[in-house]
């Protein structure tokens, strides 16, 4: 069985490295996007099992990128989690309302992060 | 955001308001002070009353004059009536005299008649006639007759004098010897003249009396219509004065009340944070000046409010950005430390593991600081809005206990929860109250040495719920009891722990105070501490 593929959208190189290494060490395949446009492109091309989406990105923000994914029938049903350092009160509700399937705030707790990713990937495979 | 009120209701109300009457507005626009306007109104009203009084007196004077005239006329009518009755009396007497001489043309018969009776009637006529000329003099009438009456009176006088002369001649003729042949014929001629004169006299007197009565009647009729006219004029004038005074009062008072109401409405709007409008007052008096000042105050407040709003927005944006910028590198710091600590990329030796723990706990400490600073800033900026709803205080306390139990067990501290069955649901922001409970409980567990205990209990005292977290820790020195609720103020023990932010109690204090409660600590050095906070339940208990 091919391991699940996860698209990580993150503009900070150190954080990208962290998420990629943790995910790969856990046994997932990863795709990396540094911008929103790139994220939409890669998601459309590869249909990953899960997208971890940063919100504050250099071009289009994560919410708009999500909108584009949802607007395209090829990517409309991809599970997408918000992975953001925007952790002010009410943000979680804002992201869930925007259509994200879940929300992880930075700094992440690695064991929680891994558990969450695993839950969503299994869910995706179950589907 | 500034609250925008809908103008529809206000407009409708304004249309119905007398304060928007054009006349009222015009009076408001008069460039005179309120004092001058009031003075004009009062003096104007007083002048109206005076004018009404003058008119009344004049009408009364006219009426009095007419009554006097009528009195004179009636006095004259009475005198002339007497004159007429005198004249009638003369005529009747004369008639008797003539009747007594029915057989005038038969001298024999005349001679047979007792002469004494005839003479008595003659004397009576003479005497009656004598009254008439005398009564035409003003002194006898008791008044001076007007020129119109004089014409009649002259005729009466002349006729009376004529009659007198004839009567004298009749008496002389009677006195003549009965056998004078010419006597009966002469007597007959004299009697005829006397009768004609008596008819004339009676007619003149009747004409005079009738003319006077007619004038009197005319005056009475005129008097009645003049009274009606005067009464109507007075009523109209009084009604006019009342209407004018009311109009004056209405216009003036509304030219004052209207602006005051508008200013009041505007001030109420300003008080509730609506700086969007100006007072609609066109007065050029003190109220106009007041309205202008209210508008200036409004503009100044609006400017300050906008500045404040913008400053507050900048602060919020700055805090959000700061939070984001600090969390981004913290993610790498904590993440990589965990990756190493979890040995995901290989073994670490004991020393490395210890250092990784230090990095992790420092990273987490930094994260707590960021969270607490953000929370505190929001509370201070008034941006924390409590989501007040009924919640179970017991559940909140139980959850707090569960959250610290792991650490407590590790540290050998026993945590107990004493429940009061009388307290169930209370009103408050559950998340914030849980934050306070957790803060107090984690502090208590942190400072209580192994073998000690922490107890959390809730009681209801004097209309408020009291939550007490008691520990058997080292206690707090008297001089620190107040200080520990201030930002970045920690006790010696706290500083040694190296994990508190120095913000937890400050934040708890503000959250409790936001709920209308109080927080304090009872402690003595070496005897443990009891942190207590209260929540009002007056009217909120369900």
Q: Which of B321, B331, B333 to mutate to test the interface with A (most CBs of A within 10 A)?
A: B331
The length of chain B, given as a count of residues:
542
- Checking if the pLDDT of B176 tops 70, the result is no
Predicted pLDDT at B105: 40
Report CB contact under 8 Å: A85, B328: yes
Above 80 in pLDDT, residue B209? yes
Chain A positions touching B319 (Cβ under 8 A) are: 88
Whether the predicted pLDDT of B424 surpasses 80: no
pLDDT at B200: 86
State how far the Cα of B43 lies from the Cα of A57, in Å rounded to an integer: 80
Q: How much is the pLDDT for B382?
A: 74
Q: Do A107 and B335 touch (CB under 8 A)?
A: yes
The complex's ipTM? 0.91
A107–B327 CB contact, under 8 Å: yes
Q: Count other C-beta atoms under 10 Å from residue B237's C-beta.
A: 17
Nearest to A14 among B323, B332, B338 (CB): B332
- Answer whether B328 sits within 8 Å of A12, measured CB to CB: yes
Q: What is the pLDDT of residue B102?
A: 43
Over the stretch B220-274, which tens digit does the pLDDT of each residue have? 888 888 888 988 999 999 999 999 889 888 888 888 888 899 999 999 999 998 9
Q: Output the tens digit of pLDDT for each of chain A's 127 residues.
A: 688 999 999 999 999 999 999 999 999 999 999 999 999 999 999 999 999 999 989 989 899 999 999 999 888 989 999 998 887 767 888 888 989 999 998 999 999 999 999 998 876 444 3
Q: Which residue has the higher pLDDT, B9 or B289?
A: B289
The pLDDT value given to residue B106: 37
Which range, A33-42, B172-181, B184-193, B460-469, has the best average confidence (pLDDT)?
A: A33-42
- Letter string b/e over residues B278-312, b meaning 16 or more CB atoms within 10 A of that residue's CB: ebbbebebebbebbeebbeebeeeeeeeeeeeeee
pLDDT band at B119 (very low <50, low <70, confident <90, very high): low
Contacts for A104 with CB less than 8 Å, ≥ 6 apart: A52, A81, A82, A83, A84, A112, A113, A116
Cis geometry, peptide bond prior to residue B423 (ω within 30 degrees of 0): no
Closest CA of chain A from B319, distance in Å: 9
What distance in Å separates the CA atoms of residue B5 and residue B13, rounded to the nearest whole number?
Answer: 14
Q: How far does the CA of residue A102 sit from the closest CA of chain B (Å)?
A: 18
Chain B interface includes A24 (CB < 8 A): no
In which band, very low, low, confident or very high, does the pLDDT at B16 lie, cut at 50, 70 and 90?
low
The yes-or-no verdict on residue B542 having pLDDT over 50 is no
* Measured distance CA(A1)–CA(A6) in Å, rounded: 15
Mean pLDDT of B152-167: 81
Taking an 8 Å cut-off on Cβ atoms, the answer to whether B338 and A14 are in contact is no
Q: Which residues does chain B have within 8 Å of residue A111's beta carbon, measured at their own beta carbons?
A: 338, 342
Is the pLDDT at B115 greater than 80? The verdict is no
Residues in chain A with CB shorter than 8 Å from the CB of B327 are: 85, 87, 105-107
B43 vs B191, higher pLDDT: B43
* pLDDT at B122 > cutoff 60: yes
- The larger pLDDT score, comparing residue B79 to residue B4, is at B79
Question: Does any CB of chain B come closer than 8 Å to the CB of residue A89?
Answer: yes
B123 compared with B8, residue with greater pLDDT: B123
> Is the separation of the CB atoms in A113 and A81 below 8 Å?
no
Could you tell me the CA-to-CA distances from B534 to B380, B421, B429, B430, B460 in Å, in that order? 20, 17, 14, 14, 9
**In this complex, which of B325, B339, B363 lies closest to A22 when CB atoms are compared?**
B339
CA nearest to B529, candidates B463, B465, B420, B454: B454
Please state, in angstroms and rounded to a whole number, the distance separating the CA atoms of residues B484 and B123.
145
In this predicted structure, the answer to whether residue B352 has a pLDDT above a threshold of 60 is yes
pLDDT digits (tens, 9 = 90+) for B514-523: 888 999 998 8
What is the band of B215 on the pLDDT scale with cuts at 50, 70, 90?
confident
Per-residue pLDDT at B112 exceeds 70: no
Report the pLDDT value the prediction gives residue A5, as an integer from 0 to 100. 93
pLDDT confidence of residue B111: 43
Q: Indicate the SS3 state at residue A73.
A: coil
Higher pLDDT, B498 or A22: A22
> Rounded mean pLDDT of B388-394?
88
Closest Cα to residue B90, out of B151, B149, B166? B166
pLDDT score recorded for residue B316: 79
DSSP string, B323-368: HHHHHHHHHHHHHHHHHHHTTTTS---HHHHHHHHHHHHHHHHHHH
Q: Over the range B191-229, which residues count as b (16 or more CB within 10 Å of their CB) and which as e?
A: bebbbebbebbbbbbbbbbebbbebbeebeeeeeeeeee
Q: Which of B439, B437, B443, B421 is nearest to B535 (CA)?
A: B437
- pLDDT confidence bin for B133, thresholds 50/70/90: low
pLDDT at position A17, please? 95
Tokens of A88: 């002010």
Instruction: Write down the pLDDT at residue B192.
Output: 81
Q: Which of B315, B316, B320, B328 should we substitute to test contact with A (largest number of A Cβ atoms within 10 Å)? A: B328
For chain B, the average pLDDT equals 81
B-chain CB neighbours of A19 within 8 Å are 335
Chain B residues closer than 8 Å to A12 by CB? 328, 331-332
Identify the band that residue B307 occupies on the pLDDT scale cut at 50, 70 and 90.
Answer: very high
Chain mean position to CA B40: 21
């Amino acid at each position: 069985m091919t391991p699940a593929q996860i698209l990580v959208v993150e503009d900070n190189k150190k954080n990208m490295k962290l998420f990629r290494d943790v995910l790969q060490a856990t046994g997932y395949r990863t795709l990396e996007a540094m911008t929103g446009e790139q994220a939409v492109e890669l998601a459309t091309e590869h249909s990953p099992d899960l997208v971890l989406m940063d919100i504050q990105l250099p071009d289009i923000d994560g919410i708009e990128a999500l909108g584009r994914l949802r607007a395209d029938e090829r990517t409309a049903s991809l599970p997408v989690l918000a992975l953001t350092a925007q952790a002010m009160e009410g943000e979680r509700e804002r992201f869930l309302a925007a259509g994200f399937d879940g929300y992880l705030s930075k700094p992440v707790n690695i064991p929680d992060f891994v558990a969450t990713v695993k839950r969503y990937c299994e869910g995706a495979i179950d589907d | 955001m500034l609250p925008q009120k809908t103008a529809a209701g206000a407009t409708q109300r304004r249309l119905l308001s007398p304060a928007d009457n054009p006349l009222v507005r015009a009076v408001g626009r008069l460039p005179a002070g309120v004092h001058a306007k009031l003075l004009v109104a009062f003096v104007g009203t007083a002048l109206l009353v005076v004018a009404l009084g003058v008119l009344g007196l004049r009408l009364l004077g006219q009426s009095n004059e007419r009554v006097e005239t009528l009195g004179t006329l009636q006095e004259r009518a009475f005198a002339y009536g007497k004159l007429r009755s005198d004249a009638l009396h003369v005529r009747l007497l004369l008639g008797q005299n003539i009747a007594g001489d029915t057989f005038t043309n038969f001298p024999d018969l005349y001679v047979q008649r007792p002469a004494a009776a005839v003479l008595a009637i003659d004397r009576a006529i003479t005497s009656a006639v004598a009254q008439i000329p005398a009564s035409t003099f003003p002194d006898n009438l008791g008044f001076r007759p007007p020129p119109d009456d004089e014409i009649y009176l002259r005729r009466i006088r002349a006729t009376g004098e004529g009659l007198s002369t004839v009567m004298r001649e009749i008496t002389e003729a009677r006195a003549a010897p009965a056998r004078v042949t010419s006597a009966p014929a002469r007597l007959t001629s004299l009697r005829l003249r006397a009768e004609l004169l008596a008819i004339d006299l009676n007619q003149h007197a009747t004409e005079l009396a009738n003319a006077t009565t007619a004038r009197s009647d005319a005056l009475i009729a005129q008097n009645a219509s003049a009274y009606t006219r005067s009464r109507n004029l007075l009523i109209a004038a009084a009604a006019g004065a009342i209407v004018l005074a009311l109009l004056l009062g209405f216009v003036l008072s509304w030219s004052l009340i209207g602006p005051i109401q508008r200013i009041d409405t505007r001030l109420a709007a300003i008080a509730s944070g609506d700086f969007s409008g100006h007072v609609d007052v066109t007065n050029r008096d003190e109220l106009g000046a007041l309205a202008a000042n209210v508008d200036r105050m409004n503009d100044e407040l609006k400017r300050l409010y906008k500045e404040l709003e913008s400053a507050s927005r900048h602060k919020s944006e700055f805090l959000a950005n700061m939070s984001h910028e600090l969390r981004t590198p913290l993610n790498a710091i904590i993440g990589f430390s965990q990756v190493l600590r979890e040995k995901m990329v290989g073994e670490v030796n004991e020393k490395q593991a210890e250092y990784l723990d230090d990095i992790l706990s420092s990273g987490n400490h930094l994260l707590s600081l960021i969270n607490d600073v953000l929370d505190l800033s929001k509370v201070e900026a008034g941006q924390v809005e409590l989501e007040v709803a009924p919640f179970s205080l017991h559940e909140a306390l139980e959850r707090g206990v569960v959250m610290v139990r792991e650490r407590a067990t590790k540290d050998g501290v026993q945590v107990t929860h004493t429940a009061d069955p009388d307290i169930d649901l209370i009103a408050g922001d559950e998340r914030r109250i849980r934050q306070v409970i957790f803060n107090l409980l984690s502090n208590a567990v942190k400072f209580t040495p192994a073998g000690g205990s922490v107890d959390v209990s809730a009681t209801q005292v004097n209309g408020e719920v009291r939550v007490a977290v008691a520990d058997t820790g080292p206690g707090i020195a008297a001089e620190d009891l107040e200080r520990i609720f201030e930002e970045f103020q920690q006790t010696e023990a706290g500083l040694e722990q190296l994990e508190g932010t120095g913000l937890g109690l400050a934040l708890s204090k503000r959250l409790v105070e936001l709920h209308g409660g109080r927080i304090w600590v009872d402690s003595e050095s070496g005897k443990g501490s009891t942190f207590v906070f209260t929540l009002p339940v007056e009217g909120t208990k369900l």
